[in-house]
Chains A and B, each alone.
Chain A
């Protein structure tokens, strides 16, 4: 599959602070690419560099096989974006906002086409209301309509689900998946809602303190050869003491409430279970954890 974005050794310094540190990644075409990281990890700085709002200190960005610095104008014709929060002209209506950004993208859409865009994000009824009367969720949806108005091939969404209610989140989730899987768009999306990213992303990049700590398809990342195993037991303190005296202490993670946690190869889970029982630890349940949240926490905790 061809790549839409190729980032090589990207770095950005702000005075003494290195916000993005030698970051390299590739975003395949037609996928939802999740971009994860804690607050301050360098996500927004990276996105701003992808949109040429900030100049990199070092590194190279290619979008659609073109160098961003040299071909910005051509690239941006096919890119739609929301950056952090959808700030729009509050003193104008949704329709006027959409018309402005459509024109700025070099398009001339009819009112009917613009109203159709608003219908896609559920704002058709409020098309003629000023944005200052909108809720945060409505502004977010209008921001998405603005990002999509010129039918871009690459859509960069920074926290698109911020401020949305559960129905709104479900709608945006459905829209993102539809754009990538049914219409062949590439969606680069950052979010702190890990469960949402787990539902929509085909591939993911996880960064911490500006550095890449994991990249790959969802299957690769969430089904690694090792797993975090959570063992629920009736007597956690006694169980913890027993485990510390055994060879399994090397695999133990900090225990949770009423639970032991181990990080080990998946193939060794039956062996672990057998020996815990032999040690006389009462096991109520045992389950391998594969969620994105577990992966994210285990990767960013170090």
Chain B
């Protein structure tokens, strides 16, 4: 099993296209960091304009590595799924398109095992991509901007999280983001198992994410109860929950989470979706006639 996984990873990381996502993420994060480095003060004035009377946080102190990471994650975690689809959507359909799938399936490896290995390899790629995001967005931002309390702006109110209470929240948030991205990986992987070339599953995954994200962000009451609870994109935003803290008498409680059960619920829903996508892919692929 481990040998076959090594082979899959070798194939994934031997292709130049695999590194496109890493390059794109690097570019976006650098651009955000450069922008905040040179005009961070104006940006902070803008986002804190509505809360200046409530919070006494100097803009120069609020703009620190933790906040930069939070800004980057808000921007990126909607778009990383698109990059994930580049590899996960290609992992089965790309082999069908190249003609290597039929050769692989003449080998003494069951289709279920082959598919599980491919999913595992795609998942490792996704996790590595997320680690890369973490290294650049959190690690590099902390190096460039230093650390201080984290100011989190929300729709109704805002939180200030003590510097000492931030880091574990990022670890938890990245862990949750991993579950979300693995759900997208599973979706692209499932579509890949259905297809004969990789364009279809990649484009289909991207389209699904765009449509679902638009629906998730629409502030229309009708969708709030009928559609949004069932969209995996809604639950992918659950990572933000780790930065929503409880307050007692106007003071945030260190180590607290406003609604932990909601985060767990979202996580379980995402895991359920991922399992459903993988099982569907295996069910279909086991009986698929290989005509490519």
Do A and B actually bind? yes
- Indicate whether A53 sits within 8 Å of B99 (C-beta atoms), given known contacts A91-B15, A100-B7, A103-B3: no
With both beta carbons as reference points, the residue of chain B lying nearest to A87 in the complex is identified as B99
Known: A91-B14, A104-B109. A54 touches B104 (CB 8 A): no
Name the residue of chain B whose CB is nearest to the CB of A73.
Answer: B108
Give the one of A55, A87, A90, A105 with max B CB within 10 A: A87
Interface residues on A, range: 20 to 34
Contacting pair A105 B108 (CB below 8 A): yes
A-side interface mostly: loop
Q: Are B105 and A89 in contact (CB under 8 A)?
A: no
How many chain B residues touch A (CB < 8 A): the figure is 24
A99 to B44, CA, bound (A): 55
A224 to B98, CA, bound (A): 44
Cβ–Cβ contact A101 & B103, under 8 A:
yes
Contacting residue for A81 out of B10, B106, B287, CB 8 A: B106
Chain B, interface SS category: loop
Q: Note all chain B residues with C-beta closer than 8 A to A92.
A: 11, 14
**Residue from the set B100, B105, B106 with the largest chain A CB neighbour count within 10 Å:** B106
Does any Cβ of A come within 8 Å of B227's Cβ? no
Q: Which residues on the A side are within 8 Å of B98 (C-beta)?
A: 87, 89-90
Our count of residue pairs bridging A and B at CB distance below 8 angstroms stands at: 75
Query: Does A76 contact B103, Cβ atoms closer than 8 Å?
Result: no
A103 to B108, CA, bound (A): 10
Question: Is the pair B7, A53 in contact by a Cβ cutoff of 8 Å?
Answer: no
Q: Which residues of B contact A72 (CB under 8 A)?
A: 108, 110
Which residues of B (271-292) have their CB < 8 Å from a CB of A? 287, 289-291
Residues of B within 8 A of A55 (CB): 287, 289
Task: Tell me the residues in window 109-128 of chain B with beta carbons closer than 8 Å to chain A beta carbons.
Answer: 109-110
* Distance of A131 Cα from B24 Cα, bound (Å): 28
Q: Is B108 in contact with A77, judged by CB distance below 8 angstroms?
A: yes
Most-contacted residue by chain B among A52, A74, A104, A108 (CB, 10 A): A104
Partner of B107, one of A54, A74, A76, A83: A76
Question: In the complex where A85-B99, A91-B14 touch, is A53 in contact with B108 (Cβ < 8 A)?
Answer: no
Cβ–Cβ < 8 Å partners of B100 in chain A: 87-89
Report the minimal beta-carbon distance from B196 to chain A, rounded to whole angstroms: 13
Q: Which residue of B lies closest to A85 (CB)?
A: B99
Residue of B nearest to A75 (CB): B108
Instruction: Identify the interface centre among B7, B100, B107: most chain A CB within 10 Å of its CB.
Output: B107
Is A53's CB under 8 angstroms from B11's CB?
no
B141 CB → nearest A CB, Å: 35
Query: Which B residue's beta carbon lies closest to that of A104?
Result: B107
Which residues in A have their C-beta under 8 angstroms from that of B37?
A: none
Q: Looking across the interface, which residue of chain A has its beta carbon closest to that of B15?
A: A91
In whole Å, how far is B87's beta carbon from the nearest beta carbon of chain A?
14
Q: 8 new A-B pairs (CB below 8 Å) besides A54-B291, A103-B3?
A: A48-B289, A51-B106, A52-B106, A72-B110, A101-B107, A103-B7, A104-B4, A104-B104
Supply 18 A–B pairs (Cβ within 8 Å), ascending by A. A51-B106, A55-B289, A72-B108, A72-B110, A73-B109, A76-B106, A81-B106, A83-B106, A87-B99, A87-B103, A88-B100, A89-B11, A89-B100, A92-B11, A100-B10, A104-B4, A106-B108, A146-B103
